Amino acid sequence: MSHKITLTQFLIEQQRGLPDASGTFTLLLNNIVTACKKISHLVNRGELIGVLGSAESENIQGEIQKKLDIITNDIMVNELNWTGHLAGMASEEIDDPIKIPDQYPKGKYLLLFDPLDGSSNIDVNLAVGTIFSILRCREGIHPDVQDFLQKGAEQVCAGFVLYGPSTMMVLTTGHGVNAFTLDQDIGEFILTHCNMQIPETTSEFAINMSNQRFWEAPVQRYIEDCVRGNDGVSDKNYNMRWIASLVADVYRILTRGGVFLYPLDTRNPSKPAKLRLMYEANPMGFIIEQAGGLCSTGRERILNIKPDSIHQRVPVILGSKQEVERIMQYHQQG
Ligand code: F6P
Ligand code: MN
């Protein structure tokens, strides 16, 4: 019988390669894994345990929360606030950074997360996920918002768990991207996809077409050229996919290439873009770049943005390298 590498073995072997590593980071990731296994179980049980539907409350983004947005946020907080590895946390669902309770020791990392990405899909039984990003923090301090406002390029680790037909964890610590599939029988994530690489070229795009009239000119022109295919200036015909769960769209791009756009739009002047820099764009940007792709606003590299607020939104264009470069050229042309 072939030996299967568990996520725990993978992390410990990676840690052995770093002589200065104390093991704290490996323990922190194990706590994140436990939280995500709990979330996977709840999402899978769905209506059997009455967790679907709206909570009828609004989050900081002005979005109506699902019951599972709140439950999964609480799971993340309660699985991670006691560990001693974190100095603080920030969640897409909570207005201010989450403090570590006084009775627990503080650690050297900051954790940012979107506890249930794509939650509008939960009631229709489509894939959702948890996205997380880990930053360093000066030890022994009570971090304030400023301590979280680091560029994406500073991330120590980024990952997401996709609750789809299989539950999968996709992870990078800056040495490539690996994916692990949850073996429900033994309760362990098993390494199934080593060193994922995004194909450089693609003929598949993902965008919410219903916003078309609100986009900027460069995005209008790019999508028009995709849709016209080889009847227009493109040398190929394009296919389109839109799952409306960033985790699922990004996982597709990691496996077969493609480009994903959530561009600037003029629908609501107070919300010029939809995705959140700290909880969505930065972790996905780190993963996509580590798999050989690009992640940009159309004008600049997402990971180079110096955040000015913790719930900041950014336009996101990510995926196959050559296609993102092509979209950036459309932006340069104005
Ligand atoms: O978290 C935001 C999100 O749900 C992403 O997962 C997804 O890519 C996007 O919003 C879907 O947006 P829309 O509902 O506009 O299609
Ligand atoms: Mn989200």
Q: What is the pLDDT of residues 250-292, one digit of tens each?
A: 999 999 999 999 999 999 988 889 999 999 999 999 999 999 9
pLDDT of residue 172: 98
Binding residues for Mg(2+): 92, 114, 116-117, 280
pLDDT of residue 271: 87
Work out the angle at residue 134's Cα, subtended by the Cα atoms of residues 132 and 140, and round it to the nearest 5 degrees. 135
| pLDDT exceeds cutoff 80 at 47 | yes
pLDDT-derived band at 144, boundaries 50, 70, 90: very high
CB atoms within 10 A of CB 78: 11
Query: In a mutational test of the pocket of ligand 1, which residue from 68, 120, 209, 318 has the highest number of ligand atoms less than 8 Å from its CB?
Result: 120
pLDDT of residue 135: 98
| pLDDT exceeds cutoff 80 at 333 | yes
Binding residues for substrate: 117-120, 208, 274
Which atom of ligand 1 is the closest one to the Cα of 119?
Answer: 4
| Residue closest by Cα to atom 3 of ligand 1 | 118
- The β-bridge partners of 114 are 131
φ/ψ of 155, rounded to 5, equals -60, 140
Which atom of ligand 1 is the closest one to the Cα of 114?
Answer: 1
Q: What is the pLDDT of residues 156-187, one digit of tens each?
A: 999 999 999 999 999 999 999 999 999 999 99
| Residue closest by Cα to atom 9 of ligand 1 | 244
Ligand 1 neighbours (beta carbon < 6 A): 117-118, 120, 208, 244-246, 249, 274
Query: In a mutational test of the pocket of ligand 1, which residue from 117, 132, 282 has the highest number of ligand atoms less than 8 Å from its CB?
Result: 117
Classify domain 204-333 at the CATH class level. alpha beta
Query: In a mutational test of the pocket of ligand 1, which residue from 68, 275, 288, 317 has the highest number of ligand atoms less than 8 Å from its CB?
Result: 275
Residues 6+ apart with CB under 8 A from 190: 4, 5, 6, 7, 180, 181, 182, 183
Which atom of ligand 1 is the closest one to the Cα of 262?
Answer: 8
pLDDT-derived band at 313, boundaries 50, 70, 90: very high
List the domain boundaries for the chain. Answer: 7-193, 204-333
Taking the CA of 115 as reference, the closest ligand is: 2
Which is nearest to 199 in space by CA: 261, 260, 256? 256
Which is nearest to 35 in space by CA: 217, 159, 218? 159
Domain 7-193 falls in which CATH fold? Fructose-1,6-Bisphosphatase; Chain A, domain 1 (3.30.540)
pLDDT of residue 164: 97
| Residue closest by Cα to atom 15 of ligand 1 | 208
pLDDT of residue 92: 96
